[in-house]
Structure 1
Amino acid sequence: MGCPVNPLDDIAEDCCLRRMRNILRDDSHPGWQFFDLLPSSGRYRSMISPTNRAMLPTGWTVRLWLLFKLLAMVHAEKMPDTGSCQPHPSCHECIRSHPSCAWCKQLDFVQAGESDMERCAPRVELERRGCLPSEIMDPHSEQRVLEDRPLSNSTQHQSFTQLAPQRIALQLRPGEEQRVTVRFRRAEGYPVDLYYLMDLSYSMKDDLENIKRLGSHLLAALRDVTTSVKIGFGSFVDKTVLPYVDTAPSKWQNPCSPSDESCQPAFSYQHVLKLTDNASEFESRVSQQRISGNMDMAEGGFDAIMQAVICKEQIGWRNVTKLLVFTSDGTFHMAGDGKLGGVYMPNDGRCHLDDRGLYTKSHLYDYPSVAHLAEVLSESNIQAIFAVTGPRLSMYEELSRLIPKSVVGELREDSSNVVQLIADAYSSLSSTVNLVHSSDLAPGIAIAYDSHCGDSETSGRTQGECLGVRVNQQVEFSVRIKATTCLPGPQKVVLRVLGVGEEVHIEVATLCDCQCGDTQSNAPHCSGGRGNLTCGICSCQEGHAGRLCECKPEELVDAEATCRDANDTGPVCSGKGQCVCGKCQCNAQASGPLCKCDDAGCERHNGQLCGGNGQCRCGNCECHQNYTGSACQCSLETSGCTQEGVVCSDHGHCVCNRCHCDAGWFDSHCSRCADCQTPCEEHRNCAECRAFGTGLLQKTCSASCNQTVNVVLASATDERWCQTKAEDGSLLIYLIERDKEGSISLTVNGKEGNTTKKTFRLVLSSVLGLVFFGVFLIIVYRIVLEIYDRREFKRFEKERKHAKWNEVNNPLYRSATTTVINPKYNSD
């Protein structure tokens, strides 16, 4: 069913449009309404007027929308049904509303002042309120196997049965799922029809010579795996209009190049040989074929496939395994390409072969789309084998992903390996079992598949699938069918295995009406014959009213006055019911003489009214047995508080099946104490004072401690020995023993110093020693340096005093002299 995104966007878009149009047509987008213009035969947008076409979503919009829709569908399918049964006024409406709803038809079930809507509730609730099980209408889905022929084994060859059962009748209650088990066994020797469809363009010339000698080898290969096999033959080139073929008279008669090569005129598709088991006839008819030619690399193979599938009588298809072998070394034209040659009408999906087997409408109808081909191949149960050359392999693999039950094989340039290729492809197709349902599934029916394939299992898929199924191996599928609404009438669902001509026919009807069996006209229960009785409810005759037709409305004087409090001008019955015959008939969520009690206004717990453990009556919860509390939230059970037969370890009390611990105790069963001393801590002070005379009790040891204390020197490796800190921080090691009389003796192994403090002190003293030693060295260095400097200074002073300097003038010395002459000076 998937439509993967393909490099050829038009293919993927057309596939998505066609296969999902039924889902999309209910949406509110103004363009979705035009999806109905796309018929099941795969027509495309050119049918729609330009105005309407503009309103259609684009290809990527379609894909995104489909993604969201599919995710929503999967999410809705996986989500549990969180709805619940709500009261309804009639049995029919009750059982249609929810699968858990049941209806009580017991005459005296509804009390005075209550509405008949109270008859609609879950079965357990109705029985609790006093309705007899035989008076409860609670239909459930049923299935009847109408035909179940045994599966064939390897010794049966006259008639084959691979799929069972063959016919089933289902009665489905809306919202309730029913499982149908379908069995499939791959029979040995199942008949095969093989139609060989060959590209006869010029590039396939050498291939044709090999195919002419193919018949006997192909039949021999298929007869190794089946008792009955028929083969047929057809060929194709392309549409007989420009630009696909050359329409010039000379080229029309001989389209091959070089011109001295004798070729037949171009054609679109020709059916040559009807399916036959005569190998000689196959070789004879194929040997008469001549090569042809066209102008481009793409061929008209899609036209040929469509005609070969649709023209069932001309081809001679039987209701067996049907294979269509498509061989080509070129690409393919698809929907829309025909416009290049003026061919714009969408392919109509009908047979147009003349008496010679030629396709006569190729110049009128466009190539079919991939989605259209996928649909007709699937509906006709034909499996396609694409035998193509290496350069085209990837393109045809993409095409195969869009066509169910198809495979691709690599063809040698001269088609010499085609027999082995077909045999391998047939083996691959036959070993894959795909169980699907008909595409025209009625709205309101949902189907999911669980596959049981022996070594592997899958669940919740849109189709059943088993891989690698061997001959005579049996696999099973659980088909889960659910009606989401009441169907207008019996609907048919057809299940089939792709590639197999057998089907499972399922007739689906819905249980939407109550067959109470108490219908009575003029029933005495209805006030002596004033009404007709159906499912415990009275339908009053004209002129009578009331739940039991007990009054005539015209005889009542101001009937509504009795349905209100005195001087009350508000709505009758507090607006929560109807005034019938001067009495209030309350709605489902109200009660009391004037419907003042709100039966839906009680306290909730965990989102449920009365915690789901009681009934709401006039605003108060009436709890079921073993429940209490304002919202019935408290269970009276004590299983959650009990451990080894003791409730809350005797250190608390059980409330709502949970322990409330005494002060100082905690955990789920009050088994742990926050402030309690361990036995080792309890006897620590006595062990210290009795053995060593130290600790907190050293002054009152004799009066406070009555244990017997022994001091030993043996090593204490047993985990029973206590290792605690003494008062001075040292490690105290001792063993506590109790004799039969209850006397306690302490065996003290020893008292080890506090290694932590010792280590700290040692480290501290070392550090302080290093500090003091460094400071001492610095002081000594400064003292020595000071003494040395003082001595040097004294020596300098002494030398300076004894120094004598020569004070004679230096002959080289002359004092500086500056002579300035005033130019204005006159000596005179």
Structure 2
Amino acid sequence: MNIKWCISILAILLVTSVTAQNNRRGSNPCLSEKSQRSCGACIATASECAWCKSESFFKEHRLRCDKYENLAKLGVCQTEDIVYPDDKLILTKNVNVQDGDRPEEAVQIAPQEVQLKIRPNKPIKFKMQFRQAENYPVDLYYLMDLSNSMEDDKAKLAELGNLIAESMSRITKNFRLGFGSFVDKVVMPYVSTVPRKLRIPCYTRAGTPCEAPYGFKNQLSLDLDTSKFAVQVMAANVSGNLDAPEGGFDAIMQAVVCENDIGWRSISRRMLVFSTDAGFHYAGDGKSQIGWRPQSRRMLVFSTDAGFHYAGDGKLGGIVTPNDGICHMNNNIYTESSNLDYPSVSQIASKIIEKNVNVIFAVTKDQKPVYDKLSDMIEGSIAGELENDSSNIVTLIRNNYEKITSKLVMNTENAENITVKFFSRCLGTDMLETNACEGLGIGQNITFDVEVTVSECPADRSQWRRAFDIYPVGLAEKLRISLDMICECECETAGKEERNSPKCFGGNGTYECGVCTCNPGRYGKECECDASKVSDEESDKKCIKPNSTMPCSGRGECVCGVCDCYPRTANSAQKFSGTYCECDDYSCDYFDGLICGGPERGTCDCGNCVCQPSFDGPACECDNRNVSCLASDGTICNGHGECVCGTCQCDKQSQYRGKTCEECPTCTRRCNENKECVQCVAFQSGPKTEEECKRDCRNIKVQAEVSKSDGVQICQFKDDDDCLFTFTYGFDQNDELQIKAQRTKLCPESVNVLAIVGGVVGGIVAVGLALLLIWKLLTIIHDRREFAKFENERQNAKWDTGENPIYKQATSTFKNPTYGGN
């Protein structure tokens, strides 16, 4: 009896130990198969992984790669033998942000150079500051389409040239202005090649001959004397071409890449104004004197009133050589216009990023939707609507300059396979993951928390040291980050390793960091296996399960006649088991997120759940104790259902429902049980005292309104004041009773006696007045009828109404007929 008891105890301890180990492996990335291969693979797996390099490491009980705290606290590895390299951050150049009267003195980004020694999968954070400097140099190059349809635009631009300079000088004192023009390639079908048309392609509205067609011409290099701008614009003449689109991309490419010659400053805000009445072809070439400064904000304003060709349109003119993106300017004229194809959108976008140019597409209303889409593909560009005669160009440049400069966008360059995240409060209070801030003004500081992560070590060792840049879009300044990836441990370096060590089965491997790295053709923990004998027939037979033909069940490798089982998934510590790797102790069904419901319910044995006596089912999900099916009166499912797998299945013929079949539409028991609690909690009424209310009444929530959706049953009762109160009851996920009471009660309205009396009196008075009015109306009608009748009889009388017919005078009067009445 005692022996059986001891065996049972040992079995339980073994199961508990295995389960704990499996749980530990599942949540610990350091225990994966890949991480155990070498010290370098271990420290690259996760930030918390460490390697024990001790030669006397107790490897039968633990793996060399584990979390640092596990190796240290369990005492299986001495602290000095734990390899856990730390990352480092060094600010190699950190000049504070500052304004500057000269371009080279202005600093807008700090720090400028950072050196990182970084472990894979372990992020490093540091702070980066940006401040828009006052009087930061700006180079604005106006690139205009001078085809014939832009004649009125050219005249208006000449008038407004000084206003452009005046408007920009309010923003910065260090401002330079330049001007260039373009038409198209001088080949058919873009322009007419008839000799007469090549000399004079058209006539202006004034009747003067147009200039001969050309690709791109630098009319004025960037100059601090902005008064030259209007002179050069007036001196430039329009030209003509055949098709609607123009060679604008040729001009943009040359204006951007010919930086020193054109006059761009390196430290300046570079702007290029592109003006045209047509679109652009997609591929081209050039070189001349534009003069971008090395440090400046470069702005290029591109003005046009038409659409554009797509890349490869040069083939229409027999031009098949792709654009090379190189400056081809001679005497301020693009020399390769007829030899190189137009640039593509990607070429233009790439060069604009490389040269840190901001582009403003100043286009007419009908072309703006097209250039909006184009600006979405070109970093640091924006499209604005231009009036037909360019009269709003000053406002357009100023407004779009403010849009560009008020928005800060941080980006990366050469950061492939490196994750860089930006966190900032911008001008608010909440820290957000964002690389963009808006609404910036001159002198305002913005701080970014930069997080750099390397996910894995490149296979090419030369890539373990590399550099990338973080830069604000449209500016030449950048932060250079030098990365030194920690992809191997110090004990793996050439000076620390033991080549052909006797510790590796007769010198068949290199001993480093406490393990053997086997020579080619050897493998095994101590290089004990000869790879040339892996497929030996006798060795393979030892690894084949009876009644099978596949070694190690296809789940492992036969190593020296013994199955070395594979991990179940990549980078997993969960391996197949068994003599022939035939078992999988991790593929059983899950219940409540645990395999076989957890150790208290069952364990996984070779793919099948072995349940404890009180549980049943494929995942031991069924509780045979019926505890969860007991109703409040102690009966199973309230006598109206059956307990199946720990859940009540209520009789369909009955109206009882709920988790224990205790709820029905006509049941009022719960309503009566909770009536007094609702009275005392929600309305401070009812028979319960305050102490009884606090003791007995819980889980009651008072809210504005309740409905059927708030609970199983709606209950209504009259309170002490004869008002009707309403509440619902239901059950939460833990089967706790939840009651929701409506805050307001429905009370009967009181009788307003004064209103009733007033209404009756008012009604009587109103009726009396109405009767008087009717009587008066009838009287008036009657009198008028009698008077009309009298008048009618009087008018019809035969006698003189002025004499009394009965009266006779006392004298008689006779007329002498002789006088005839004279």
Match of 2:426 in 1: 453
1:270 to partner: Cα distance: 0.5
- Structure 2 residue aligned with 1:333: 308
1:151-195: CA deviations, max 9, x gaps?
225899761111222222334433444445432111221111111
In 2, the alpha carbon distance for the partners of 1:552 and 1:341 equals: 68
Q: State the AA in 2 paired with 1:222.
A: M
The CA distance in 2 between the partners of 1:545 and 1:238, in whole Å, is: 69
The answer to whether structure 1 residue 321 and structure 2 residue 292 are counterparts is no
Following TM superposition, by how much is the alpha carbon of 1:121 offset from its aligned partner in structure 2, in angstroms? 3.7
1:301 and 1:332 in contact (8 A); partners too:
no
Corresponding residue for residue 276 of structure 1: 223
> Alpha-carbon deviation of 1:269?
0.9
Distance 1:479 1:609, change over 3 A: farther
For residues 242 and 325 of structure 1, the distance between their equivalents in structure 2, rounded to whole angstroms, comes to 27
Matches of 2:101 and 2:426 in 1, distance apart?
Answer: 23
The residue number in structure 1 matching 2:146 is 200
Partner letter of residue 361 of structure 1?
E
Q: How does 1:632-643 map to 2 (within 5 A)?
A: none
- Once the two structures are overlaid, the 10-residue window that deviates more, 99-108 or 529-538, is 529-538
2:512 counterpart letter in structure 1: T
Q: Does the C-alpha gap of structure 1 residues 197 and 591 become closer, same or farther in structure 2, counting only changes over 3 Å?
A: closer
SS in 2 for 1:481: strand
**Does residue 309 in structure 1 map to residue 256 in structure 2?**
yes
Matched-pair contact (CA < 8 Å) for 2:555–2:582: no
Q: Give distance in 1, aligned partners of 2:322 and 2:77.
A: 65
Instruction: Give how far 1:373 is off.
Output: 1.9
Q: CA deviation at 1:431?
A: 0.4
- Determine if the alignment matches structure 1 residue 534 to structure 2 residue 522: no
Aligned letter for 1:104? C
SS at match of 2:105: coil
Deviation of 1:308 after TM superposition, in Å, equals 0.8
Contact 2:168 2:175 in 1 (8 A): yes
Quote the residue 2:676 is aligned against: none
- Counterparts of 1:292 and 1:153, CA distance in 2: 44
In percent, how many aligned pairs have the same letter?
35
Q: Which amino acid aligns with 1:162?
A: Q
Aligned counterparts of 2:560 and 2:314: Cα–Cα separation in 1: 77
Give the corresponding residue for 1:144: 90
Q: Deviations over 1:242-279 (max 9, x none)?
A: 33323333332222236941332111110122211122
- Measured in 1, the distance between the counterparts of 2:480 and 2:590 equals 48
Cα distance in 2 for residues equivalent to 1:307 and 1:374: 13
Gaps of 5+ in 1: 1-80, 554-558, 621-630, 635-650, 652-659, 661-669, 682-715, 720-828
1:175–1:158 distance in 2 versus 1, CA, 3 Å: closer
Change (3 A) 1:297 1:304: same
Q: Of the candidates 371, 389, 395, which is equivalent to residue 364 of structure 2?
A: 389
Q: TM-score, normalised by structure 1?
A: 0.56
* Letter aligned with residue 429 of structure 1: I
2:236 maps to what in 1? 289
| 1:131 corresponds to 2:76 | yes
- RMSD after superposition: 5.9
Q: Which residue of 1 aligns with 2:296?
A: none
1:177/1:480 contact within 8 Å kept: yes
1:398 corresponds in structure 2 to: 373
- In structure 2, relative to structure 1, the CA distance for the partners of 1:403 and 1:530 (3 Å cut) is closer
Name the SS of the counterpart of 1:496 in structure 2. Answer: strand
1:221 aligns with 2:192: no
Number of the residue aligned with 2:729: none
Deviations 1:508-541 (A, max 9, x none): 3432212248745798988999986421225689
Please say if 1:411 is aligned against 2:411: no
Corresponding residue SS for 1:324: strand
The yes-or-no answer on 1:167 pairing with 2:125 is no
Contact 2:98 2:106 in 1 (8 A): yes
SS in 2 for 1:317: strand
1:336 to 1:180, Cα distance in 2 relative to 1, 3 A: same
Q: Which residue of 2 aligns with 1:104?
A: 52
Aligned-pair distance for 1:309? 1.0
Q: Which amino acid aligns with 2:265?
A: R
| Aligned-partner Cα distance in 2 for 1:192–1:633 | 74
Q: Rate the CA distance shift 1:108–1:591 in 2: closer, same or farther, 3 A.
A: farther
1:546/1:401 Cα in 2 relative to 1: closer, same or farther (>3 Å)?
Answer: closer
C-alpha contact 1:85 1:97 (8 A) present in aligned 2: no
Code of the aligned partner of 1:201:
S
Tell me if structure 2 keeps the 8 A contact 1:450–1:457: no
Please list, as runs of the form range in 1=range in 2, the aligned pairs for 1:51-66 lying within 5 A after superposition: none
* Counterparts of 2:529 and 2:143, CA distance in 1: 83
Aligned with 1:168: secondary structure?
A: strand
The question of 1:475 aligning with 2:446 is answered yes
The answer to whether the 8 Å contact 1:613/1:633 transfers is no
1:299 is matched with which residue?
246
Deviations 1:292-340 (A, max 9, x none): 2223443222221111112222212222211001123331432243344
CA distance in 2, matches of 1:138, 1:618: 37
Given that 2:99 and 2:135 are in contact with CA atoms closer than 8 Å, whether structure 1 keeps it comes out as no
- 1:433 deviation in Å? 0.9
Question: SS where residue 150 of structure 2 aligns?
Answer: helix
User: In 2, Cα distance between the equivalents of 1:717 and 1:316?
Assistant: 89
Q: Mark the runs of 5 or more structure 2 residues left unpaired by the alignment.
A: 1-26, 278-304, 532-537, 568-574, 608-617, 622-633, 635-645, 647-659, 674-717, 722-822
In structure 2, relative to structure 1, the CA distance for the partners of 1:538 and 1:717 (3 Å cut) is closer
Equivalent position SS for 1:252? helix
* Structure 1 CA distance for aligned equivalents of residues 605 and 90 of structure 2: 47
Structure 2 partner of 1:373: 348
The SS at the match of 2:134 is coil
Q: Aligned partners of 2:520, 2:199: CA distance in 1, in Å?
A: 89
Between 1:464-473 and 1:512-521, the stretch displaced more is 512-521
- In the other structure, the counterpart of 1:806 is none
**Displacement after TM superposition at 1:481 (Å):** 3.4
> Aligned partners of 1:522, 1:530: CA distance in 2, in Å?
6
> Between Structure 1 and Structure 2, how many residues are aligned?
579
1:460-539 matches, within 5 Å, as 464-487=435-458, 488=460, 489=463, 490-516=465-491, 519=497, 533-538=511-516
Alignment CA distance shift 1:408-1:583 (3 Å): closer
Relative to structure 1, the CA distance from residue 530 to residue 583 in structure 2 (aligned partners, 3 Å threshold; closer, same or farther) is same
Distance 1:448 1:531, change over 3 A: closer
Q: Which amino acid aligns with 1:483?
A: V
Query: What secondary structure sits across from 2:329 in the alignment?
Result: coil
